[in-house]
Amino acid sequence: MAKRVFSAALLGSALLALAACNASENESASGGSLDAAEKASETLLKTGGNGDNWGAIGYSYDEQRFSPLTDINDKNVGQLGLAWSADLDDARGQEATPVVVDGVMYVTHAWSKVSAWDAATGKELWKFDPKVPGERAVSACCDVVNRGVAVWGDKLFVGALDGRLIALDRKTGKELWSTQTFDTSKPYTITGAPRVVKDMVLIGNGGAEFGVRGYVTAYDADTGKERWRFYTAPNPTKAKDGAASDDIFASKGNATWSDKGEWQTSGGGGTVWDAIVYDKDLDQIYLGVGNGNPWNHGTRSNGEGDNWFLSSIVALDASTGKYVWHYQETPAETWDYTATQPIILAEQAVDGTPTKVLYHAPKNGFFFTINRSNGKLIDAKPFVDGINWATGYDMATGRPIENPDARFYKTGKPFIAVPGALGAHNWHPMSYNPKTGLVYIPAQQIPQGYLADMDELDKRKVLGFNVGTSLNKTMLPDDQKAFRAAIAATTGRLVAFDPRTGKVAWGVDYPAAWNGGTMTTAGNLVFQGTSTGRFRAYAADTGKQLLDLDMQSGIVSAPSTFRVGGVQYVAFMTSKGGAFPLVAGIAGGVTRKVPNIPRLVVLKIGGTAQLPAPPATTTLAWTPPPMTAKPAEVAAGKAHFGRYCQVCHGDSAIGNGFTPDLRVSGTLANADAWKSVIIDGALKDRGMVSFARVLTPQDAEAIRAYVIERSNWTKANLPEVSAPMGR
């Protein structure tokens, strides 16, 4: 017993000495010090801990989404069963990764709601609803989603769709403070998760499709007071903003934007709507920056300049927000090739030297390995097949070797790009397993047409996407072969990429796109849910499928794993949601028939609980009103639908069982009821605001004529593949 006491005393002295040596490390940016709970959070975020907790959406600061747990492994994963589940509010996209600290699980839901659960039993502990106004949905390009919380000490942080950054007491869910992060008169949103660094909370925003200027802000974790801000697009007047980005724009960045072009009124875009990663080793923050506004570089910047910092990885000093370096993956971006996809920090031998690297697989289809000390490109190789906008990267310059035809605004010809705007990899998290050296990417193939031949309707408006390309003229033609080809061309793939060789080590093909994020473990496992409703586990080294569970609903989120009471669990959320099911139309393929069930699911070895009975198959009454409108009215309605409606109700008015399929809407046969929604805003509380600012009652009636025509045409020509799906 004496020996144990003596050892404990020595350990206590050692810990005190270590704390003294690291005092400066635990000092906040404002000169104060972290309390005990905050120090524990910082340690967990730096190390990831022993796997009992999943302390951040990416597991730790490195955001590898790798757990050291091995209780569930490649020998017993087939014995996973349901521990518990909970149905959630709001049949919209559920994109959060469950965060678990000290046996309590925290998740965000659609509409920025937050809930806390006993992670082992499924007992709901509290729920917080920020009551986001339904009208804000019109500013959300890609659904009213939220990707998770950040935990810091006794606080929990969430970004709300309407721009509030909110601090909650993580034990009770009570609001502690709230700060408005953007001008609500502009079409900004927040869908990403905050990150906490040095007692600061960092958050970005979305809205580049509509026309805003991107930035990231750091706020004091205790008070919500702004510490610093970094803009990712220049001030239209090229004046200084008093921001951390002032010097780099004044010295170099402004010169990369033309003095002509629409960016000066649109804001330029460049929103940081997802990836914000802290490098604990170099004390740097990395931002994944989004697309420009408009997409079309010819319209945005007169076809001139690289347009810093669009589609770039930007490194900042963590304490001040000052610029350190950047690497632009897609210079003069023009296809919505964002660099906002998840960023992973790792170490890799480069020319025999251990090197701190950053891994990134953005929309443009190339996998980047970047030296995070200086931003130098180490490698860029394709992680999907069929890329046609570029043939590769010039390693001497770090620039893509472009296909001249891809610059559609220069050629004046349409260009069908692979990948398209939804990307070879979208927001769905990838993961990295240090044991295998592989990165597991939820990849996809979704071609898209681009056309710069714009008419008056395509030009900038106060509502709707403003992307500088014709949306209505690139909808599918009235051709059965084209519709079936769209289904065949739209696929998904789990890619195990080896950054050391620049090649795909193994892959698993899926019949549809928009599959869930990945998570990997020391048990030689990779977990992923699919858009067709399966939850699967694969051997991390070989890709052999080891588990296949029916989850009744699509899965877009990424799982996490943790241990409570000596038992390892795996948790994830189910739902359809996000940009693809909103806009896909017929290209949704088999996923159109998959139910949309918002649910939290937790598995364990030997779990015997059962999911609720699946919902009954809904057969919607498909009895379109007769065609009475003249062809000119239908054509006008098609143009307006393509401009304003397809991004939420699907290409060619074919719904995906997610938002209402207008072909079977109860208002379709009633002109007054239709007008009450589109013009009068009868459903604004549900996100369907009035479009009276851009449409006349006659325009709305023309859209109704077009949807009636679509309903009749698809029923007569494609009933087996386009039948309306229930919500």
User: How crowded is residue 278: how many other Cβ atoms within 10 Å of its Cβ?
Assistant: 25
Quick one: how far is CA 37 from the chain centroid? 30
- Which structure tokens are listed for 16? 């005190």
| Dihedral over alpha carbons 326, 329, 330, 331 (to 10 degrees) | 30
Catalytic-role residue among 279, 336, 651, 699 = 336
How many angstroms separate the CA atoms of 108 and 114, rounded?
Answer: 4
427 assigned ligand-binding residue: yes
147 assigned ligand-binding residue: yes
191 assigned ligand-binding residue: yes
436 assigned ligand-binding residue: no
223 phi and psi, to 5 degrees? -120, -20
303 assigned ligand-binding residue: no
Among 228, 220, 208, which Cα is nearest to 179's? Answer: 220
According to DSSP H, which parts of 490-630 are helical? 579-583
208 assigned ligand-binding residue: yes
Please name the residue that has the structure tokens 């057969």.
619
200 assigned ligand-binding residue: no
- Which structure tokens are listed for 323? 């610029």
Would you call 336 a catalytic residue per the annotation? yes
How many angstroms separate the CA atoms of 237 and 86, rounded?
Answer: 51
336 assigned ligand-binding residue: yes
- The arrangement of strands across the sheet holding 353-360 comes to 343-350, 353-360, 366-371, 377-382
Among 542, 535, 353, 533, which Cα is nearest to 440's? Answer: 542
How many angstroms separate the CA atoms of 508 and 511, rounded?
Answer: 10
363 assigned ligand-binding residue: yes
Taking phi over 0 as left and psi of -120 to 50 as alpha, with beta for the rest, 141 belongs to alpha
DSSP state of 708: H
576 assigned ligand-binding residue: no
DSSP state of 361: -
Residues forming beta bridges with residue 390, ordered by sequence position: 402
291 assigned ligand-binding residue: yes
Is residue 290 within 8 A of residue 271, CB to CB? The reply is yes
271 assigned ligand-binding residue: yes
Is residue 114 within 8 A of residue 173, CB to CB? The reply is yes
Q: Which residues are identified as catalytic?
A: 336
Binding-site sequence positions for pyrroloquinoline quinone: 95, 147, 191, 207-208, 271, 363, 426-427
Binding-site sequence positions: 95, 147, 191, 207-209, 271, 291, 336, 363, 426-427, 645, 648-649, 688
Binding-site sequence positions for Ca(2+): 209, 291, 336
Binding-site sequence positions for heme c: 645, 648-649, 688
